[in-house]
Structure 1
Amino acid sequence: MLQLTGLEKSYGTHRVLHGVSFDVRPGRLTGFVGGNGAGKTTTMRIVLGVLAADAGTVSLDGATLTTDDRRRFGYMPEERGLYPKMKVLEQIVYLARLHGYSKPDATTAATTLLERLGLGERLNDNVETLSLGNQQRAQIAAALVHEPEVLILDEPFSGLDPIAVDVVAGVLQERAAAGTAVLFSSHQLDLVERLCDDLVIIAGGTIRAAGERETLRAQHSTRRYELVSTGDAGWLRAEAGVEIIDFDGGYAVFDVDSESTAQRVLREAVARGDVGSFSPQHPSLAQIFREVIQ
């Protein structure tokens, strides 16, 4: 497990990170979200040893990270980092060989990965001739080709069309299922919510929320319910302790002042006719994000 504990970083008088602490667990996808300048990239660069923290520690399985540990990491920066005049396959093979692969093994690993990422027909094209989306896929291949134990990706879905997003998401899920600890940042909150097991929200260099996705949703839930019935749900307007949020015929979303009020509403709905569904409503990641950064 990758553990960040109490990370501090300042540039002159500008404090960028304030006691940043969270875990990235093996076999899980961890989404790292925050606005521009929140501290995501600085945090990632400290983990990778590109930047030094002013205070705090980064450890792997309880031991302070070493240079050898970081060789087992995969990293994709937000900026383009490939050699533009190298062929795609040649580039990824070269990177695999830097990690100790023989040329045949590197070629097999790179070819298999590039084909999985949808670049099988572009293996012998120069990187500079690829579209921005295909260059992004090639960069992801560069981070993955040596099968890292920890994978850190800065905006991996930037510039990808919906089909490419699904392909890359599938590859990341496969790596997590194989035991890799995956941390990635993204501004696409709906995508993060769909993919990730764990979430970390940062704002102003401070971690505002961190934990399992469903645990966070439960922690930030209000007493909000959705009712779908065959009759007109207008009677809810007269119920004490109920505030209507959305209403359309037999459909209603409403807040209640207590769980006992919710149970009373359910009993009344059943008494009035068929109830298709009655369920609590949990907030989306976007709603949690807006709440915790205020």
Structure 2
Amino acid sequence: MTDAAPTRTAVEAGPSGPRPKPFFTPQKIIIYSVLVFFSIYFLFPLYVMLTTSLKTMPEVRFGNIFALPQAPSFDAWIKAWTSACTGLTCEGLSPGFWNSVKITIPSTIVSIFIASVNGYALVNWRFKGSEVFFAILIFGSFIPYQVFLYPLVIITRELGIFGSLQAVILVHTIFGMPILTLLFRNYFASLPVELFKAARVDGAGFWRIFFEVLVPMSLPIFVVALILQVTGIWNDFLFGVVFAGTQNYPMTVQLNNIVNSAQGTPEYNVNMAATVLTGLVPLIIYFVSGRLFVRGVAAGAVKG
């Protein structure tokens, strides 16, 4: 009898704990409304580009720019890739695509490798004047690129690489150093120092600790560096038009030549298709690794 009384009392009292909150609250409605509005605002230009690229020129001229294509066609995409005029030649964006690939891959790999080693050394292998070196490196990132153009032209000319892909690769590698070094330094500073000390006690040296201890733990920050470099290098116009030479123009320079061509009637569907093609690579990389990008940025901002 004494055991049954508490049970009846608990049942009569009803469920305990906080009352569940409704899903649709005024705060959530406001937040989601603002997010949806800005998402539509930023995605609307992409919608216009995609729909226009799938239309024929008569439909573009006499139709509604916001309307869906009546008979979608990829002819503009094919022409933008294979036969659009990018200056004196009419080979489309395909040569510029491969030039951009040849520039982006080595520039990204070399700059990320050097910056990661810099960040690792600045955190775990401090040397006399390391903080001064780091401060000078970061200060250089705030100087406008245009200030360095003429000195870099002279340097690449003296090295015998001006007007080649090697010159563009060198310039992108140099300008990627400051921000990437900062990211890697902050990320490595957020890792437990006991891991480094334990590896030192076990007799591991500079490179073994870097490759076997830190690199396997640092995938998020490497993804951040990858996205930043690929996006910055692929979308660059200034260095490509100055240092690459007319035979090695990257995709962005050729896109500018297509869009601003003064010959004939402007083909807006081809222009839009060329624009989307040029931006596909950074978009794909970001969407594939976006979650790791957010994690790496958050981890790299823990310590200064």
TM-score with structure 2 setting the length: 0.24
Which structure: larger Rg? 2
**Greater fraction strand:** 1
Q: Which has the higher helix share?
A: 2
Question: Whose relative contact order is higher, 1 or 2, with alpha carbons under 8 Å and at least 6 apart?
Answer: 2
